[in-house]
A and B are shown apart, each in its own frame.
Chain A
Amino acid sequence: MRTSDLLRSALRNVRRSRLRTTLTVLALVVGASTLSLTTALGAGVSDYVTRQVDALGADDVLVVTAGSAQTGDGPVTYNPTRSTAAGGGAGLPGAGAAASLTDESVAALQRLSGLRDVRPVRSVALDYVQAGSSPRFELSLSPTGAVAQADLAAGRQLDAAGVADGIVLPQDHVAPLGFAGDAQAVGSEVTLAFTDLTGTQRQVPATVVGVSRSGLLSSGAAVGADFLDSLASQQDAGVGSPGRYPAATARFDPATADVAALKEEVGALGLQAQTIEDQLGVVTTVIAGITGILNAFAVVSLVAAAFGIVNTLLMSVQERTREIGLMKALGMAPRRIFALFSLEAGLIGLLGSVIGVALAAAAGTVISAALVAGPLSGLPGLTLLLFRPQAVVLVVVLIVVIAFLAGTLPARRAARQDPITALRYE
């Protein structure tokens, strides 16, 4: 039998007992839509978190801390390039006992060939921000904002090399500062004010290059790296840097650099290097876990639906005993009979999954929009349910495969049927 004839025959048989097929398909629709929704939820949340993670730093950034380079058990060996604030006693007030980087360790990092643009993280405490003669508002500057990818509402990212006077303003400051909108704010000038160590208040102009959405993990405004350094130096007011930093950021070339080797090189200096992904590993793991559990529930419903397919096709085989017997008597190979019933199962799977996925996409888009506009409006930029084409295709393929597998049992029974028994009357 030709494949086209098999397909036509399978199509006809699927349509023959409409009620039964419809009910089986319905069970699959439930499974398919559940799976699509859970995958879309996972994708939506992951996408949101990924953008939040980007807000912490680009993927070519290493954050170096003085933390233990040893990951195993046992005591930490002494390393002179690393010192603790408690031991040095020269830490900033409130710096606590946390290990910090010294100028020497930063210099050692700068000598590493794989790293460039090594900068100690320095924090600057702003007094206020003002646009023209607008009211003054408090604003915090993110110490690592220069290496971050802001979740932009308007404008552009800070340049990797650093912007002399650029600032990415958080979205919630735009209207209070008197700008008509996000886009209008870009390109205008704001004034940043801070008090240096001598107690003098200084004012510095900054150009708005972008407007960022507020997120879970990003905080405050970001300024270019060079700009931040100059602000920090001015705040020190030449009194002398303590030469201790909580961390340093460095860039590497993700295309050529071996991250693991780089981490090891940094580790040899007695320091610890982490990519942004390392730092957020826990968060992504938790999200993957929750999505996985939801998907598992959806798959359970699909397995239940698969039993429905088995049942439907077994009944169909029973009803068509004579037809199968006749086809075998007339020389149809058992393999082809098997293919015929498997195809029917696959068609039922295709029908159920396509309808289910379409329903999920339609309902999900509405629900997602309603939730984001309502209860979840505090998370700007969130698409709760993200239907990715490849995920949708994957769901359809998965269900067709499950349906095929479910169809093998009845198909085998049909293929093994004895034509004589099937054709015997009475």
Chain B
Amino acid sequence: MLTAMDEPTAVLEARHVHRWYGTGSARFHALDDVSLQVRAGESLAVVGKSGSGKSTLMHLLALLDSPDEGDLLVDGVATGDLPARQVQRLRNERFGFVFQQFFLNPAESVLENVVLPLTIAGVPAPARRERGMAVLERFGLADKARNRAIDLSGGQKQRAALSRALVGRPSVVFADEPTGNLDSATGAQVEEELFALNAEGITLVVVTHDEELAARCGRRVSVQDGRLSGGAAA
């Protein structure tokens, strides 16, 4: 069900990736010749100041954006030539996302929010419900399943977002400042959950400027002015 920990190939790979934003004199080199391998089962911290390009790198790795130059590979397969539908399927089935701002839909129930990836994939409602409840159970939110998402506390919201990231049984979870909006106690809780997932074999890519969180990752790369530095195990 999850990618084996000892799989040797890189699950994600960036090869000489460039990304520019804007045009003319306002043209801005957000990523400059970045090459990076993310091995299956590892936990990688991408650190850097705001505006350094770390979020751009994550968006590219997660196939939310495409590079102006260079290649992005998933399981060794270049994604640049894949049809859009296949890229959408990849994101839907292989990736999970946790955002700093949670991005829960306030009008829907917690359960409906959590099973969104399955709804998008077209999983029938009973199966969605079953899998959604199982993952909510794990994060201690089973009793909140019917509540509206807006009624949850900050920590509960991020745990709901974690549930949503996990419900599709992804091989990679991208976490963009997952603890940025939480107080230190709940932040630590969410951190625990993230690394518990990693321990189960899910590849973790964490974008953060929280040094403590970065230090817990197996490896860290830092982005500065669109270039990579470091890459050694922390």
Interface residues of A (CB under 8 A from B): 1-2, 5, 12-13, 16, 322-323, 326-327, 329-334, 336, 419-420, 423, 425
Contact = CB atoms under 8 A, between A and B. Distances in A.
B122 A2 contact: yes
Nearest to A336: B120
A425 B101 contact: yes
Contacts of B92: 330-332
Q: Is the interface of A mostly helix, strand, loop or mixed?
A: helix
Given A330-B92, A331-B88, A336-B120, 9 more contacts: A13-B107, A16-B107, A323-B105, A326-B105, A330-B116, A331-B120, A334-B84, A420-B59, A423-B99
B122 A330 contact: no
B205 to A, nearest CB: 14
B101 A327 contact: no
A20 to B, nearest CB: 14
B90 to A, nearest CB: 8
Contacts of A327: 116, 120
10 contacts: A2-B124, A326-B103, A326-B116, A329-B64, A331-B88, A331-B92, A420-B64, A423-B64, A425-B100, A425-B101
Contacts of B59: 420
A331 B93 contact: yes
9 tightest Cβ-Cβ pairs between the two chains A and B? A331-B92, A331-B91, A331-B88, A332-B120, A326-B103, A330-B117, A2-B122, A425-B101, A5-B119
A423 B65 CA distance: 12
B121 A420 contact: no
A332 B88 contact: yes
A77 B230 CA distance: 107
Contacts of A332: 88, 92, 120
A331 B105 CA distance: 16
Contacts of B103: 322-323, 326, 423
Contacts of A425: 100-101
A2 B65 CA distance: 26
B85 A333 contact: yes
Nearest to A322: B103
Contacts of B91: 329-331
Interface residues of B, number: 28
Contacts of B121: 331
B122 A331 contact: no
Contact of B89 (A1, A16, A331): A331
Nearest to B92: A331
A306 to B, nearest CB: 26
Contacts of B65: 420
A215 to B, nearest CB: 60
A1 B120 CA distance: 4
Interface string B120-152: 111011000000000000000000000000000
A425 B181 CA distance: 12
Interface string B55-80: 00001001011000000000000000
Contacts of A331: 88-93, 117, 120-121
Contacts of B64: 329, 419-420, 423
Contacts of B105: 323, 326
A330 B118 CA distance: 9
B6 to A, nearest CB: 28
A322 B123 CA distance: 23
Contacts of A323: 103, 105
A1 B92 CA distance: 11
Nearest to B94: A331
Contacts of A5: 119, 122, 125
B77 to A, nearest CB: 17
A329 B105 CA distance: 14
Given A419-B64, A420-B59, A330 B89 contact: no
A12 B107 contact: yes
Nearest to B91: A331
B117 to A, nearest CB: 5
A423 B101 CA distance: 9
Nearest to B89: A331
Contact of A330 (B97, B124, B125): B97
A327 B103 CA distance: 10
